[in-house]
Structure 1
Amino acid sequence: MADTNASLKTPTDIKSNEAKTVAEALNGILADTFALYLKTKNFHWHVSGPHFHDYHLMFDAQASQIFATTDAIAERVRKTGNTTLRSIGDVARHQTIKDNDADFVKPEDMLKELRDDNLKLVEKLREAKDIVDEAKDNATSGILDDWTDQAEERAWFLFEAARKS
Protein backbone atom coordinates (compact mmCIF):
# COMPACT_ATOMS: atom_id res chain seq x y z
CA MET A 1 0.00 0.00 0.00
CA ALA A 2 1.36 3.42 -1.00
CA ASP A 3 2.00 6.14 1.55
CA THR A 4 -0.81 8.63 0.93
CA ASN A 5 1.14 11.38 2.71
CA ALA A 6 4.31 10.86 0.65
CA SER A 7 3.46 13.74 -1.67
CA LEU A 8 3.22 16.10 1.33
CA LYS A 9 6.65 15.26 2.76
CA THR A 10 8.48 18.57 2.41
CA PRO A 11 12.25 18.14 2.75
CA THR A 12 13.66 19.59 5.97
CA ASP A 13 16.86 19.26 7.95
CA ILE A 14 14.90 19.28 11.22
CA LYS A 15 14.85 15.81 12.75
CA SER A 16 11.46 14.16 12.20
CA ASN A 17 10.52 13.88 15.89
CA GLU A 18 11.53 17.52 16.49
CA ALA A 19 9.68 18.66 13.37
CA LYS A 20 6.56 16.86 14.60
CA THR A 21 6.85 18.58 17.97
CA VAL A 22 7.27 21.96 16.25
CA ALA A 23 4.23 21.23 14.05
CA GLU A 24 2.11 20.24 17.06
CA ALA A 25 2.99 23.49 18.85
CA LEU A 26 2.31 25.57 15.74
CA ASN A 27 -0.98 23.81 14.99
CA GLY A 28 -2.12 24.61 18.54
CA ILE A 29 -1.16 28.24 17.98
CA LEU A 30 -2.96 28.22 14.64
CA ALA A 31 -6.15 26.87 16.23
CA ASP A 32 -6.00 29.51 18.96
CA THR A 33 -5.28 32.20 16.38
CA PHE A 34 -8.39 31.26 14.41
CA ALA A 35 -10.46 31.15 17.63
CA LEU A 36 -9.13 34.57 18.67
CA TYR A 37 -9.74 35.99 15.20
CA LEU A 38 -13.36 34.86 15.16
CA LYS A 39 -13.99 36.09 18.71
CA THR A 40 -12.46 39.47 17.86
CA LYS A 41 -14.66 39.74 14.75
CA ASN A 42 -17.68 38.67 16.82
CA PHE A 43 -17.01 41.49 19.27
CA HIS A 44 -16.37 43.90 16.38
CA TRP A 45 -19.80 43.04 14.94
CA HIS A 46 -21.63 43.19 18.29
CA VAL A 47 -19.99 45.99 20.27
CA SER A 48 -22.33 48.76 21.42
CA GLY A 49 -22.32 51.78 23.69
CA PRO A 50 -20.68 55.17 23.96
CA HIS A 51 -17.26 53.92 22.74
CA PHE A 52 -18.75 52.00 19.82
CA HIS A 53 -16.75 53.74 17.11
CA ASP A 54 -13.36 53.39 18.80
CA TYR A 55 -13.87 49.77 19.89
CA HIS A 56 -15.41 48.79 16.56
CA LEU A 57 -12.35 50.11 14.70
CA MET A 58 -9.84 48.68 17.19
CA PHE A 59 -11.43 45.22 17.10
CA ASP A 60 -11.44 45.25 13.31
CA ALA A 61 -7.79 46.31 13.11
CA GLN A 62 -6.80 43.64 15.64
CA ALA A 63 -8.82 40.96 13.83
CA SER A 64 -7.07 41.83 10.56
CA GLN A 65 -3.66 41.57 12.23
CA ILE A 66 -4.56 38.23 13.81
CA PHE A 67 -5.91 36.79 10.56
CA ALA A 68 -2.79 37.92 8.70
CA THR A 69 -0.67 35.52 10.79
CA THR A 70 -2.71 32.40 10.00
CA ASP A 71 -1.17 31.69 6.61
CA ALA A 72 2.37 32.20 7.90
CA ILE A 73 1.74 29.81 10.81
CA ALA A 74 0.33 27.12 8.53
CA GLU A 75 3.16 27.55 6.04
CA ARG A 76 5.77 27.13 8.80
CA VAL A 77 4.12 23.80 9.66
CA ARG A 78 4.33 22.71 6.02
CA LYS A 79 7.96 23.86 5.74
CA THR A 80 8.84 21.49 8.58
CA GLY A 81 7.46 18.58 6.54
CA ASN A 82 4.18 18.24 8.42
CA THR A 83 0.51 18.88 7.81
CA THR A 84 -1.64 21.55 9.33
CA LEU A 85 -5.26 22.06 10.34
CA ARG A 86 -7.88 21.23 7.73
CA SER A 87 -11.28 22.35 9.01
CA ILE A 88 -13.30 24.24 11.61
CA GLY A 89 -13.66 20.92 13.44
CA ASP A 90 -9.90 20.50 13.44
CA VAL A 91 -9.54 24.01 14.87
CA ALA A 92 -12.08 23.16 17.58
CA ARG A 93 -10.17 20.01 18.55
CA HIS A 94 -6.92 21.95 19.00
CA GLN A 95 -7.98 25.34 20.38
CA THR A 96 -7.52 26.30 24.02
CA ILE A 97 -8.98 29.80 23.71
CA LYS A 98 -12.64 29.51 24.62
CA ASP A 99 -15.42 30.66 22.30
CA ASN A 100 -17.91 33.27 23.45
CA ASP A 101 -21.41 32.54 22.13
CA ALA A 102 -23.25 34.91 24.46
CA ASP A 103 -26.11 36.94 22.97
CA PHE A 104 -24.75 40.09 24.61
CA VAL A 105 -21.36 40.97 26.07
CA LYS A 106 -20.70 44.32 27.72
CA PRO A 107 -17.96 46.28 25.96
CA GLU A 108 -15.75 46.33 29.08
CA ASP A 109 -16.06 42.53 29.27
CA MET A 110 -15.12 42.26 25.60
CA LEU A 111 -11.96 44.26 26.25
CA LYS A 112 -10.98 42.15 29.26
CA GLU A 113 -11.71 38.84 27.55
CA LEU A 114 -9.75 39.70 24.42
CA ARG A 115 -6.88 41.04 26.54
CA ASP A 116 -6.76 37.79 28.51
CA ASP A 117 -6.99 35.70 25.34
CA ASN A 118 -4.12 37.60 23.73
CA LEU A 119 -2.03 37.06 26.86
CA LYS A 120 -2.89 33.35 26.75
CA LEU A 121 -1.68 33.32 23.15
CA VAL A 122 1.55 35.01 24.29
CA GLU A 123 2.08 32.14 26.76
CA LYS A 124 1.63 29.57 23.98
CA LEU A 125 3.98 31.50 21.71
CA ARG A 126 6.66 31.53 24.44
CA GLU A 127 6.21 27.77 24.97
CA ALA A 128 6.55 27.22 21.23
CA LYS A 129 9.69 29.38 21.20
CA ASP A 130 11.39 26.93 23.56
CA ILE A 131 10.33 24.00 21.36
CA VAL A 132 11.53 25.53 18.10
CA ASP A 133 14.79 26.70 19.64
CA GLU A 134 15.47 23.16 20.83
CA ALA A 135 14.77 21.92 17.29
CA LYS A 136 17.12 24.61 15.91
CA ASP A 137 14.27 25.94 13.75
CA ASN A 138 15.68 29.45 13.49
CA ALA A 139 13.13 30.70 10.96
CA THR A 140 10.16 29.81 13.16
CA SER A 141 11.95 31.19 16.22
CA GLY A 142 12.34 34.61 14.65
CA ILE A 143 8.75 34.76 13.45
CA LEU A 144 7.50 33.75 16.91
CA ASP A 145 9.20 36.85 18.30
CA ASP A 146 7.18 39.04 15.91
CA TRP A 147 3.89 37.27 16.69
CA THR A 148 4.59 37.57 20.43
CA ASP A 149 5.21 41.30 20.07
CA GLN A 150 1.97 41.73 18.11
CA ALA A 151 -0.10 39.83 20.70
CA GLU A 152 1.50 41.79 23.56
CA GLU A 153 0.67 45.05 21.78
CA ARG A 154 -2.95 43.99 21.28
CA ALA A 155 -3.21 43.08 24.97
CA TRP A 156 -1.72 46.44 25.92
CA PHE A 157 -4.18 48.39 23.73
CA LEU A 158 -7.09 46.40 25.16
CA PHE A 159 -5.85 47.02 28.70
CA GLU A 160 -5.48 50.75 28.13
CA ALA A 161 -8.91 51.01 26.44
CA ALA A 162 -10.51 49.32 29.48
CA ARG A 163 -8.98 51.70 32.04
CA LYS A 164 -11.48 53.85 33.87
CA SER A 165 -9.10 56.75 34.33
Structure 2
Amino acid sequence: MPNTKNQPAVADALNALLADSFALYLKTKNYHWHVQGPRFRDLHLLFDEQAAQILATTDLIAERVRKNGAATLRSIGDVSRRQSIKDDDAASVEADAMIGALAADNRTLLDQLKETKAAAEADGDIATSGLVDGWVDETQQRIWFLEATLGY
Protein backbone atom coordinates (compact mmCIF):
# COMPACT_ATOMS: atom_id res chain seq x y z
CA MET A 1 0.00 0.00 0.00
CA PRO A 2 1.38 3.46 -0.91
CA ASN A 3 2.73 5.62 1.87
CA THR A 4 0.27 8.54 1.65
CA LYS A 5 2.55 10.94 3.51
CA ASN A 6 4.91 10.82 0.50
CA GLN A 7 2.27 11.29 -2.21
CA PRO A 8 2.87 15.05 -2.39
CA ALA A 9 6.54 14.32 -3.02
CA VAL A 10 5.64 11.99 -5.90
CA ALA A 11 3.18 14.51 -7.39
CA ASP A 12 5.70 17.35 -7.01
CA ALA A 13 8.41 15.31 -8.70
CA LEU A 14 6.03 14.35 -11.50
CA ASN A 15 4.91 17.96 -12.00
CA ALA A 16 8.56 19.10 -12.19
CA LEU A 17 9.19 16.30 -14.69
CA LEU A 18 6.15 17.38 -16.68
CA ALA A 19 7.28 21.02 -16.77
CA ASP A 20 10.74 19.99 -17.99
CA SER A 21 9.19 17.64 -20.54
CA PHE A 22 7.13 20.47 -22.01
CA ALA A 23 10.15 22.81 -21.98
CA LEU A 24 12.31 20.20 -23.71
CA TYR A 25 9.55 19.38 -26.20
CA LEU A 26 9.20 23.03 -27.22
CA LYS A 27 12.96 23.57 -27.41
CA THR A 28 13.34 20.45 -29.56
CA LYS A 29 10.55 21.65 -31.89
CA ASN A 30 12.16 25.11 -32.00
CA TYR A 31 15.38 23.52 -33.23
CA HIS A 32 13.44 21.30 -35.64
CA TRP A 33 11.85 24.40 -37.18
CA HIS A 34 15.05 26.48 -37.31
CA VAL A 35 17.92 24.08 -38.03
CA GLN A 36 19.96 24.99 -41.12
CA GLY A 37 23.05 23.78 -42.91
CA PRO A 38 24.36 20.71 -44.67
CA ARG A 39 22.82 18.30 -42.12
CA PHE A 40 19.42 19.99 -42.30
CA ARG A 41 17.38 16.97 -43.35
CA ASP A 42 18.93 14.52 -40.88
CA LEU A 43 18.68 16.93 -37.94
CA HIS A 44 15.23 18.16 -38.93
CA LEU A 45 13.98 14.56 -38.84
CA LEU A 46 15.91 13.62 -35.68
CA PHE A 47 14.59 16.62 -33.76
CA ASP A 48 11.02 15.94 -34.91
CA GLU A 49 11.26 12.27 -33.90
CA GLN A 50 12.64 13.18 -30.48
CA ALA A 51 10.03 15.91 -29.92
CA ALA A 52 7.23 13.45 -30.70
CA GLN A 53 8.69 10.94 -28.22
CA ILE A 54 8.89 13.59 -25.49
CA LEU A 55 5.36 14.84 -26.14
CA ALA A 56 4.02 11.28 -25.95
CA THR A 57 5.12 11.05 -22.30
CA THR A 58 3.36 14.23 -21.14
CA ASP A 59 -0.15 12.81 -20.85
CA LEU A 60 1.14 9.75 -19.00
CA ILE A 61 3.05 11.94 -16.55
CA ALA A 62 0.02 14.18 -15.93
CA GLU A 63 -2.23 11.17 -15.41
CA ARG A 64 0.19 9.78 -12.80
CA VAL A 65 -0.07 13.10 -10.94
CA ARG A 66 -3.86 12.82 -10.96
CA LYS A 67 -3.73 9.16 -9.88
CA ASN A 68 -1.65 10.35 -6.91
CA GLY A 69 -4.53 12.63 -5.95
CA ALA A 70 -2.91 15.93 -6.90
CA ALA A 71 -3.50 18.66 -9.45
CA THR A 72 -1.18 18.91 -12.41
CA LEU A 73 0.05 21.80 -14.52
CA ARG A 74 -2.60 24.18 -15.79
CA SER A 75 -0.82 26.68 -18.01
CA ILE A 76 2.33 27.78 -19.80
CA GLY A 77 2.94 30.05 -16.80
CA ASP A 78 2.78 27.03 -14.51
CA VAL A 79 5.32 25.26 -16.72
CA SER A 80 7.64 28.28 -16.68
CA ARG A 81 7.52 28.53 -12.88
CA ARG A 82 8.50 24.86 -12.48
CA GLN A 83 10.87 24.15 -15.37
CA SER A 84 14.59 23.76 -14.83
CA ILE A 85 15.38 23.35 -18.54
CA LYS A 86 16.12 26.79 -19.96
CA ASP A 87 14.38 28.17 -23.03
CA ASP A 88 16.36 29.21 -26.12
CA ASP A 89 14.99 32.38 -27.68
CA ALA A 90 18.06 33.06 -29.84
CA ALA A 91 17.31 34.14 -33.40
CA SER A 92 20.01 31.86 -34.77
CA VAL A 93 21.71 28.80 -33.28
CA GLU A 94 24.35 26.70 -35.02
CA ALA A 95 23.41 23.06 -35.58
CA ASP A 96 26.14 21.66 -33.30
CA ALA A 97 25.07 24.07 -30.53
CA MET A 98 21.50 22.82 -30.92
CA ILE A 99 22.61 19.21 -30.62
CA GLY A 100 24.80 19.97 -27.60
CA ALA A 101 22.03 21.90 -25.86
CA LEU A 102 19.52 19.11 -26.42
CA ALA A 103 21.96 16.49 -25.14
CA ALA A 104 22.56 18.56 -21.99
CA ASP A 105 18.83 19.16 -21.52
CA ASN A 106 18.07 15.47 -21.90
CA ARG A 107 20.68 14.80 -19.20
CA THR A 108 18.83 17.30 -17.00
CA LEU A 109 15.60 15.43 -17.74
CA LEU A 110 17.36 12.16 -16.88
CA ASP A 111 18.27 13.59 -13.47
CA GLN A 112 14.65 14.66 -13.02
CA LEU A 113 13.54 11.12 -13.89
CA LYS A 114 15.87 9.68 -11.26
CA GLU A 115 14.42 12.05 -8.65
CA THR A 116 10.90 11.02 -9.66
CA LYS A 117 11.78 7.34 -9.41
CA ALA A 118 13.28 7.85 -5.95
CA ALA A 119 10.13 9.66 -4.76
CA ALA A 120 7.90 6.94 -6.23
CA GLU A 121 9.91 4.16 -4.61
CA ALA A 122 9.90 5.96 -1.25
CA ASP A 123 6.09 6.06 -1.57
CA GLY A 124 5.77 2.44 -2.65
CA ASP A 125 4.27 3.69 -5.94
CA ILE A 126 5.48 0.84 -8.15
CA ALA A 127 3.30 1.92 -11.08
CA THR A 128 5.03 5.29 -11.34
CA SER A 129 8.43 3.70 -10.70
CA GLY A 130 7.85 1.22 -13.53
CA LEU A 131 6.76 3.92 -15.98
CA VAL A 132 9.83 5.97 -15.16
CA ASP A 133 12.06 3.04 -16.18
CA GLY A 134 10.74 3.25 -19.74
CA TRP A 135 11.13 7.03 -19.84
CA VAL A 136 14.71 6.69 -18.60
CA ASP A 137 15.47 4.28 -21.46
CA GLU A 138 13.98 6.68 -24.02
CA THR A 139 15.90 9.62 -22.58
CA GLN A 140 19.18 7.68 -22.58
CA GLN A 141 18.56 6.76 -26.22
CA ARG A 142 17.97 10.42 -27.14
CA ILE A 143 21.21 11.39 -25.38
CA TRP A 144 23.07 8.61 -27.18
CA PHE A 145 21.75 9.69 -30.60
CA LEU A 146 22.57 13.36 -29.97
CA GLU A 147 26.05 12.64 -28.63
CA ALA A 148 26.78 10.20 -31.48
CA THR A 149 25.71 12.90 -33.94
CA LEU A 150 28.36 15.18 -32.40
CA GLY A 151 30.92 12.38 -32.49
CA TYR A 152 31.23 11.89 -28.71
Same-fold call, TM > 0.5?
yes
1:46 to 26, 29, 34: 34
Structure-1-length-normalised TM-score = 0.90
Check the 8 A contact 1:112/1:159 in 2, yes or no: yes
Check the 8 A contact 1:77/1:83 in 2, yes or no: yes
The residue type paired with residue 138 of structure 2 is: Q
1:115 to 77, 81, 103: 103
Choose between structure 1 and 2: higher helix proportion. Answer: 2
1:36 matched to which residue of 2? 24
2:76 to 82, 88, 94: 88
Unaligned runs of 5+ in 2: none
Distance in structure 2 (CA, Å) of the matches to 1:110 and 1:83 = 33
- 1:127 is displaced (CA, Å) by 1.3
- 1:17 is displaced (CA, Å) by 2.7
The structure with the largest alpha-carbon Rg is 1
Q: Which has the higher contact order (CA 8 A, sep 6+)?
A: 2
SS of the residue corresponding to residue 98 of structure 1 reads: coil
2:128 to 127, 135, 140: 140
Unaligned runs of 5+ in 1: 1-12
| Count of residue pairs brought into register by the alignment | 152
Query: How many percent identity over aligned positions?
Result: 53
Structure-2-length-normalised TM-score = 0.97
The residue type paired with residue 33 of structure 1 is: S
CA RMSD of aligned residues (A): 1.0
